[in-house]
Amino acid sequence: MQKEYLGEFEELVLTMVGILQEDAYGNAIVNEIIERVGRKVNLSAVHVTLYRLEDKGYVKSSMGGATNARGGRRKRIFTITNAGLAMLRAKKEQQVQLWKLVPQLKITG
Amino acid sequence: MNNKPPGYALRFLEWYCPPYLHESIEGDLVEQFQNDLLQVGSRKARLYFTLNVLKFFRPSILFRNKFSNSFFQNTMFRNYIKIAFRTLWRAKAHSLINVLGLGLGIMCCILISLFVRDELTFDTFHSKANRIFRVYGKEDWGEKQQFLYTVTPFPMGPALKDNLPEVEQQVRIKNIDSHVKIGESLFNETVAVVGQHFFDVFDFELLTGVRAHALSGQSNVVLSKRMADKYFGTSDPINKIVSIQLGEQFEEFTVKAVADNPPTNSSIQFDILISDLNLSKLYNKELLTSSWFNIIPETYILLQDGAGAPAVEKKFPSLFKTIIGEEEFKKSKYAPGLQPITDIHLNTSFPAGIAQVSNPKYSYVLMAIAGLILFVACINFVTLSIGRSMQRAKEVGIRKVVGALRTQLIAQFIGEAVIVTFIALIIGVGLSLLNLPLFNELAGKQLLFSFNKFTLLLIVFLLMIIGLISGCYPALILSSFKPITILKGSAQAGNERQRVRKILVGVQLILSIFLISSTLLMREQLSYLQNKNMGFDKEQLMVVQLNAPRTGGMIKRVAAGFETAEKFKTELANFPNIISVCAASHDFGNGVWVRLGYTDEKKAYRTFNMNVVDENYIPAMKMELKNGRNFSEKVPSDKRRSVIVNEAFAKEYGWKDAIGKKIPGSKFNDHEIIGVVKDFNYASLYTKVQPLVLVEDPSIIFSGIENVNVDNSPIPKLLIRLKPIDMQASIDHVHKTWDKLDSEGEFSFSFVDQAMANQYRSDQNLGKIVSIAALLAIIIGSLGLYALASLAMQSRIKEISIRKVMGATENSLLVLLSKEYVMLIVVCLVVSVPVTWYFMSNWLSTFEYHVSIGVGIFIGAGAISLLIAGATISYQTLKTVWTNPVNSLKHE
């Protein structure tokens, strides 16, 4: 079961990869997280997490285009795999299930 | 404004970052840098960039390297090995030459390392080695009259232990020649009388028996394993009875312990040990307790932990002043000192005591030889690799085009060298196992080869060193080829490389010539030693040691020996094959004659050697008298007061005519010099002939001397000159006579010429080792030359063919091809002359009498090397010259 464990930060990054689609590389993910969640994260942390996700098979990477801003260096584009998608879905369902068990109406006295 | 990310940070990132991640990480960082540049300005942006690079320096990134060294990428590594074996196999002859040459070199290294290790680790196996010292005595009489003694008076040990708190323990060791009786069998043995604490101080192992009690009793005896086996075979020796002759009687001893045979690298060797409680049966009480001027046993002391030898030595003068009295102390100039036990084996300034002292020069020479031979073999490897580089150039070109880095190529070629070395190593180890007995004989050792830490380290060391030395240069050369020139097919072996190759071959030749000329010179010197006129005739001269009763003083015993000799002389004189018989205290080739010292009338300290002889001595030895006359039976006073001296003696005192003079000391008995004998070499040819006195009665001399140094027993020997026919019959006859006159002792004999040759054994062995080294160097060197010539000829075959077509004669071609090799040899010969001169004159100077280094040696060595080199390359040259030009030119 070790392999299927997904940490909170890993889940966040994996979701961002899913969101960004063809444009998911290190810097873009960092910016996306700031924009959507308002959380300032470290570039190196994102990279390390991406590689770990790749090891687990939830994302795969390929070298993409270069831009002038990068001094001609290519980007490593990450795309979410089916396993990654399934993992995200399972996570979400699990959360929903758990959420359902929480009494929704709380009477404060 | 600096709009670029800092270079050092980029380089740092490149250095640690896994290559496959590098580009994207760097890209992301640069992108961020550009953003920062707009937002916070260049200075801060650069700072952030650096910080970010540092943030990436974390385990989860670093370990993505997987430390896959570019040298050993798995798939390529297998390819390298495959290619290495293919190339080795393709050039079988060259590989064989390399492997054999290196194997021989490695063999030399292994054997000589074993030897040197044995020499350097002498006596270090004692756990207290750093605290054990041998007490020595030094007498300083000024004017080059310094004497060192490794033996001490008997009271020395106990006095040191009782008076100096730093001395924890003392052990005296005295070897005596004695007889041992086991049941009915009688053996001649050396028995060591040692201190009771022998096993506390030294680490010799006991196989059976209790260490603390092994020598505690007066009648205890400890045997070495080999002695226990000799006496008792397989049965348990403990508590068996061994009878040992002490003085006149046999005493019974009980075996209490068996010690393992002392290690070969121990100065102290023993077979039979008894405790020093028995000394009183051998020496009188005065000698043992109060006689400070008779030096007999060696004394070893164990110092307390932390006590320094110099501090202890400082206390000696005051201690001895009180013990022997101020007056005596001053007069005797007696100054004892301490020598570390680990220093004994290789310190040649001390005389050999109970242990042999060996010259460390021997080790150095051997090490140098091993290094040279290995070097020659390595050079072979280098020259052949460079020579064959053209064949491998295409491979290098292709590899480079496909993307091989230079470091990878270097690693590949060094790796190949290591593979070759490894094969050579296996052969070398095999060869050394095979040749170890031979080497042991030459070096006079009992070395063993076992796979222990030392040999394994040595092997790994050799592998690395040889692999690197022989692999480095070819690797650099091969990897430097430019793919474009190689693949276009226009590559040529450059002049530069030719020159390096020639220099390397030259070095080999110089070494070979050096070794050849050294061999020749050593041979000349050794045969000179054998054949030099010694001043007496050493051929067919048989020596028989006589027995003298073990009673009375030395002078009495010598006299008794001469009485026995008279009986033998009359018995033996009648045998037709015996030319003459005489008796003397000392024979030849068995060490130093008795040395005596006295202070003459001018207060100068003088020393001379002495031999007690009979009137037959000088004619029987075929010595010549310079003037005066020999002892004569017709002059009865000769036995009482006549003395014959040698030329060196007369010279020392500046006498033109010594006849009728007296030795200028006041205390000598009445005497007169009646003759001067021409100098003869009674010691070895290492030393000059020293002043010598021949007497019939030693008491004339003994009365007037102050110092006696007896290294060898002066009990008379018979010297029998045999006719060179049917020697065995003569020996048998002497043996029969012996049985008739002396049934007690054991008959033993030797020949003077053999004994004298034995004196030079270590140098003879050195000579043999150098000639073997020369032979190996020649073999390895000519293998290399052969291979090199074959390569050189191959590359010139088209040139030769064209020359032939144009009408060159075979002779002119031969001259053309051999010219450069002959030139090379001549140059090397010239260079090697001063080298040889230096080392050989150094060696020759250890002999007082030696040959001079002549031109002949070098001409001989040059001729030999020319001949060998000529024979080596002629096959290749002739093959090239005789090829049909059609065959080599038709492809163009």
Same-domain pairing of B770 and B751 = no
Tokens of B524: 């000349």
Say whether both B729 and B788 belong to one domain.
no
Residue B162, domain member (yes or no) = yes
Q: What pLDDT does B71 receive?
A: 46
Count of the separate structural domains present in chain A? 1
- Give residue-wise pLDDT tens across range B649-693: 888 888 888 888 888 877 888 888 999 999 888 888 888 888 999
Write out pLDDT tens, residues B274-304.
Answer: 998 888 888 888 778 877 777 788 899 999 8
Fill in the DSSP letter of residue B494: -
A36 occurs within a structural domain = yes
User: In angstroms, how far is the first alpha carbon of chain B from the final one?
Assistant: 65
> Rounded to whole angstroms, how far apart are CA atoms B861 and B512?
9
CA distance B547 to B742: 8
Does the residue B124 lie in any domain? no
B310 pLDDT more than 50: yes
Instruction: State the Rg of chain A over Cα.
Output: 17
Residue range B471-480: mean pLDDT, rounded: 83
Q: For residues B49 and B62, state if they share a domain.
A: yes
Residue A76 lies in a domain: yes
DSSP letters for B643-702: EEEEHHHHHHTT-S--TT---S-TTSPS-EEEEEEPP---S-TTSPPPPEEEES-THHHH
Residues of A with CB under 8 A from a CB of B: 25-27, 30, 42-44, 47-48, 51-52, 63, 66-67, 69-71, 73-76
Asked if the structure places residue B82 within a domain, the reply is no
Q: Range of A79's domain?
A: 2-101
Reply yes or no on whether the pLDDT at A2 is more than 50: no
- Inter-chain Cβ pairs, chain A and chain B, closer than 8 A: 63
DSSP secondary structure string for all residues of B758-773: HTTHHHHHHHHHHHHH
Indicate whether B147 and B274 sit together in one domain.
yes
Per-residue confidence (pLDDT) for residue B171, from 0 to 100? 93
Nearest CA in chain A to B30: A70
User: Who among A30, A44, A70 is closest to B56 (CB)?
Assistant: A44
Q: Please tell me the distance from the alpha carbon of residue B56 to that of residue B14, in angstroms, as a whole number.
A: 11
Q: Assess if residue B437 is contained within a domain.
A: no
Taking CA–CA distances from B64, the nearest residue in chain A reads A51
Task: Using alpha carbons, select from B176, B367, B202, B355 the residue that is nearest to residue B282.
Answer: B176
- Last residue of one domain, picked from the residues B16, B33, B67: B67
Residues B166 and B313 in one domain: yes
pTM, full prediction: 0.68
Q: Is B190 found in the same domain as B249?
A: yes
A73–B27 CB contact, under 8 Å: yes
Cross-chain Cβ contact A75/B27 below 8 Å:
yes
Distance from CA of B21 to the nearest CA of A (A): 8
Min CA distance, A44 vs chain B (Å)?
Answer: 5
pLDDT at residue B430, rounded to an integer: 93
Other CB atoms within 10 Å distance of the CB of residue B555? 14
Question: What is the C-alpha separation between B527 and B726, in angstroms, rounded?
Answer: 26
3-state SS class at B192: strand
Confidence of residue B272 (pLDDT cuts 50, 70, 90): very high
Average pLDDT of every residue of chain B: 84
8 Å CB contact of B31 and A67: yes
How many residues belong to chain B?
A: 892
Q: Is residue B768 part of a domain?
A: yes
Q: What sign for the dihedral angle of Cα B612, B617, B623, B628?
A: positive
Q: How many Å apart are CA B677 and CA B692, to the nearest integer? A: 9
Q: Does residue B375 have a pLDDT over 80?
A: yes
- Give the angle B255-B261-B262 at the CA atoms, nearest 5°: 115
Per the domain annotation, does A107 fall within a domain?
no
> Are the Cβ atoms of A27 and B28 closer than 8 angstroms?
yes
* B744 and B796 part of one domain: no
What 3-state DSSP class applies to B170?
A: strand
pLDDT recorded at residue B537: 86
User: What is the distance of C-alpha B343 from the center of its chain?
Assistant: 16
- Which residues in chain B touch residue A43, judged by CB atoms under 8 angstroms apart? 28-29, 32, 52, 55-56
Share of chain B above pLDDT 70, in %: 95
Distance from CA of A34 to the nearest CA of B (A): 14
pLDDT in tens, B94-148: 888 888 888 988 998 898 888 888 888 888 889 988 999 999 888 776 655 667 8
Q: CB of B705 within 8 A of CB of B596?
A: yes
Of A42, A71, A74, which is closest to B24 when you measure between CB atoms? Answer: A74
Whether A108 is in a domain gets the answer no
Residues of A in contact with B25 (CB under 8 A): 26, 47
Predicted confidence (pLDDT) per residue in B56-70, tens digit: 888 777 777 655 454
The answer to whether B134 touches B298, Cβ cutoff 8 Å, is: yes
Looking at residues B543-563, what average pLDDT do you find? 77
Structural domain includes residue B520: yes
CATH number for A32 = 1.10.10.10
Interface test with A, best of B25, B31, B33, B61 (most A CBs within 10 A): B31
**pLDDT in the model for residue A17:** 92
State the total domains in chain B.
4
Q: Which residues of A touch B32 (CB under 8 A)?
A: 27, 30, 43
Residue B375 and residue B466: Cα distance in Å, rounded?
9
Q: Given this model, what pLDDT does residue B274 score?
A: 92
**Is residue B824 scored above 60 in pLDDT?**
yes
Token digits of residue B120 = 């350097």
Tell whether B167 and B290 lie within a shared domain: yes
Q: What is the CA radius of gyration of chain B?
A: 38
- Whether residue B32 and residue A67 make contact (CB cut-off 8 A), yes or no, is no
Q: Place A1 in a pLDDT band, splitting at 50, 70 and 90.
A: very low
Please give the pLDDT value at position B410: 86
Q: How far is A74 from chain B (nearest CA, A)?
A: 6
Distance in angstroms (rounded) separating the CA atoms of residues A71 and B278: 97
Q: Which residue has the tokens 């040696």?
A: B857
Q: For residue B402, which phi and psi values (nearest 5 degrees)?
A: -75, -15
**Cα–Cα distance measured from residue B26 to residue B739, given in angstroms and rounded to the nearest whole number:** 103
Domain residues for B805? 360-427+444-529+761-889
Residues B497 and B463 in one domain: yes
B positions 33-52 inside 8 Å of A (CB): 34, 52
Q: Mapping DSSP to helix (H, G, I), strand (E, B) and coil, where does residue A88 land?
A: helix
CB contacts under 8 A, B 56-95 vs A, are 56, 58, 60-61, 64
Of B28, B56, B58, the CB nearest to A25: B28
Residue B119 forms part of a structural domain = no
Q: How far is CA B107 from CA B53, B93, B462, B513, B784, in A?
A: 54, 21, 11, 21, 18
Instruction: State how far the Cα of B704 lies from the Cα of B725, in Å rounded to an integer.
Output: 46
Flag whether B353 is in a domain.
no
Query: In terms of Cα–Cα distance, which of B821, B828, B747, B746 is closest to B786?
Result: B821
Residues B751 and B772 in one domain: no
Residue A88 in any domain: the answer is yes
Side chain identity at residue B153, one-letter code: P
Same-domain check for residues B753 and B765: no
Q: Is any Cβ of chain A less than 8 angstroms from the Cβ of B314?
A: no
